[in-house]
């Protein structure tokens, strides 16, 4: 709701006032709401679109480093996990924390993995990095990429072999993006903490954030402090990732091997800044799962180098194993977010109930939730309803509704709209105002004369 409200308030002038945080995502979300109206689908559509693109990018990225069968299986395991499905349907810019690194890694593999890289990929890489730095914590990623590129011997060699013109253009595009970001920070100093730190971050709370971030990895009941369903990653996926991590120790300095380990360290650092950044662990986990699958298949094939029947027979147990993992991830997502109280209560379908039961142009009062008020205020900007955040002392409108508010004095309660998707099932109260007699003491002199 907070994401949709902020996206809808985005204007072209926001760039000149320093309001550039999550600019690409917010632009897409505003276009979606303007085209399809305010509903659960228009709010989530940008995340769904980016989630589909992210799934494709994972397949393309892993296919650059692994055989097609390993890349496809590892991508399916990552995309159909409960954590990824939640991310793709959250309707928030959180998905960009995984999307930008995946896109940049794939573009980097197109540059580093060939003898003569096409200059176009350098330009696209620079533009993607330019868009990425408007996402919170992605400036850290830009610094990480630069350091990794100069410290890694293979990448240093690739940079030296790049044509001069695309290299200069790439650097220029990145410098322009940093200049825009710095100027926005001068105009709006609050941008610095929003881009680099959590809203309530303190250095003393770094380790508390880490425990909150990674608690869902090790618990079987969702912690109240975490927005994610636990366990965050299935035990079988973790086992594959651990196998993959150990299998990379021999060739650690190969770029694809060291990237996963360095990304895990980077994710731990970001999680200490903001616990929600732990979602970035999906990318290195997908890489390590692919390493684990490749290692298992290679070991099986080396046991039977000349026996095609034994090699083919591995398909059945591995297929059953992967099928159980995929089925478990989907059911964990479907039933967990529906029935686990700590996470299910974070969702509601108020917007659908309002459009179904509240008459157009009625007044809606949201008195106990500032975020929901800002969200429903979009309906007022679209000319559908009047929305206010406090009940007036008098002069109530003829027909009005309140969100999660007890019966109002001096009004007739017409209907209570309930929802099975909320802990407080009585979501909306619909009223008709009652005309009240005014006492002689409250009348104006003219009204008193008319009464007499």
pLDDT tens-place string over residues 126-139: 888 888 888 888 88
How confident is the prediction for the chain on average, in pLDDT? Answer: 81
How confident is the model over 211-260, as pLDDT tens digits?
777 777 777 765 555 667 778 787 888 888 888 888 777 655 555 667 77
Q: Which residues fall within 8 angstroms of residue 211, CB to CB, at 6 or more apart?
A: none
Angle, alpha carbons 209-212-216 (nearest 5°): 145
Tell me which residue of 22, 21, 26 sits closest to 10, measured CA to CA. Answer: 26
pLDDT over 60 (residue 451): no
369-409, pLDDT tens digit by residue?
888 999 999 999 998 999 998 888 778 888 889 988 877 87
Share of residues in the chain with pLDDT > 90 (%): 16
Using alpha carbons, select from 4, 195, 194 the residue that is nearest to residue 91.
4
pLDDT of residue 354: 92
- ∠ CA 273-274-275, nearest 5°, is 125
Kindly report the pTM of this predicted structure. Answer: 0.84
Per-domain residue ranges of the chain: 2-344, 350-433
Asked if 369 and 376 count as a contact pair (C-beta separation under 8 A), the reply is no
pLDDT at 135: 86
Q: What is the mean pLDDT of residues 26-37?
A: 93
Residue 130: alpha-carbon gap to chain centroid: 19
The band of 155, judged by pLDDT with boundaries at 50, 70 and 90, is low
Partnered with residue 416 across adjacent β-strands are 429
Three-state secondary structure call for residue 126: helix
Cα–Cα separations (whole angstroms), residue 296 to 70, 166, 260, 292: 10, 41, 18, 6
């Amino acid at each position: 709701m907070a994401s949709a409200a902020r996206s809808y308030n985005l204007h072209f002038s926001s760039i000149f006032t320093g309001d550039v945080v999550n600019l690409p995502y917010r632009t897409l979300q505003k276009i979606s709401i303007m085209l399809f109206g305010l509903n659960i689908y228009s709010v989530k559509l940008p995340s769904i679109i980016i989630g589909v693109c992210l799934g494709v990018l994972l397949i393309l990225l892993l296919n650059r480093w692994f055989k097609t069968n390993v890349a496809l299986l590892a991508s399916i395991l990552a995309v159909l996990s409960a954590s990824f499905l939640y991310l793709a349907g959250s309707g928030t810019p959180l998905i960009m924390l995984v999307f930008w690194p995946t896109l940049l890694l794939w573009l980097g593999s197109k540059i580093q993995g060939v003898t003569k890289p096409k200059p176009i990929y350098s330009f696209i890489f620079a533009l993607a990095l330019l868009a990425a730095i408007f996402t919170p914590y992605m400036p850290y990623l830009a610094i990480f990429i630069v350091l990794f590129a100069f410290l890694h011997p293979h990448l240093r060699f690739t940079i030296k072999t790049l044509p001069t013109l695309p290299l200069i253009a790439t650097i220029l595009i990145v410098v322009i993006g940093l200049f825009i970001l710095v100027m926005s920070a001068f105009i709006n100093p609050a941008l610095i903490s929003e881009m680099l730190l959590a809203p309530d971050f303190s250095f003393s709370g770094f380790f508390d954030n880490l425990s909150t971030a990674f608690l869902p990895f090790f618990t079987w009941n969702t912690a109240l402090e975490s927005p994610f369903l636990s366990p965050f990653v299935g035990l079988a996926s973790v086992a594959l990732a651990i196998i993959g991590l150990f299998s990379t120790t021999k060739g650690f300095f190969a770029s694809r091997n060291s990237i996963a380990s360095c990304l895990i360290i980077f994710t731990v650092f970001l999680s200490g800044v903001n616990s929600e950044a732990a979602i970035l662990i999906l990318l290195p986990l997908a890489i390590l799962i692919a390493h684990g699958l490749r290692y298992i298949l290679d070991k099986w094939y080396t046991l039977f180098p000349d026996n095609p029947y034994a090699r083919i027979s591995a398909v059945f147990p591995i297929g059953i194993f992967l099928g159980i993992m995929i089925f478990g991830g989907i059911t964990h997502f479907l039933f967990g977010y529906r029935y686990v109280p700590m996470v299910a209560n974070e969702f509601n379908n108020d917007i659908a109930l309002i459009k179904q039961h509240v008459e157009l142009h009625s007044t809606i009062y949201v008195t106990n939730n500032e975020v929901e008020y800002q969200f429903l205020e979009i309906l007022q900007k679209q000319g559908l309803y009047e929305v206010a955040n406090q009940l007036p002392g008098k002069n109530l409108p003829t027909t009005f509704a309140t969100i999660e508010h007890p019966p109002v004095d001096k009004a007739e309660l017409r209907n209570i709209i309930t929802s099975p998707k909320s802990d407080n099932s009585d979501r909306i109260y619909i009223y008709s105002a009652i005309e009240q007699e005014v006492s002689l003491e409250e009348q104006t002199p003219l009204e008193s004369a008319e009464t007499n």
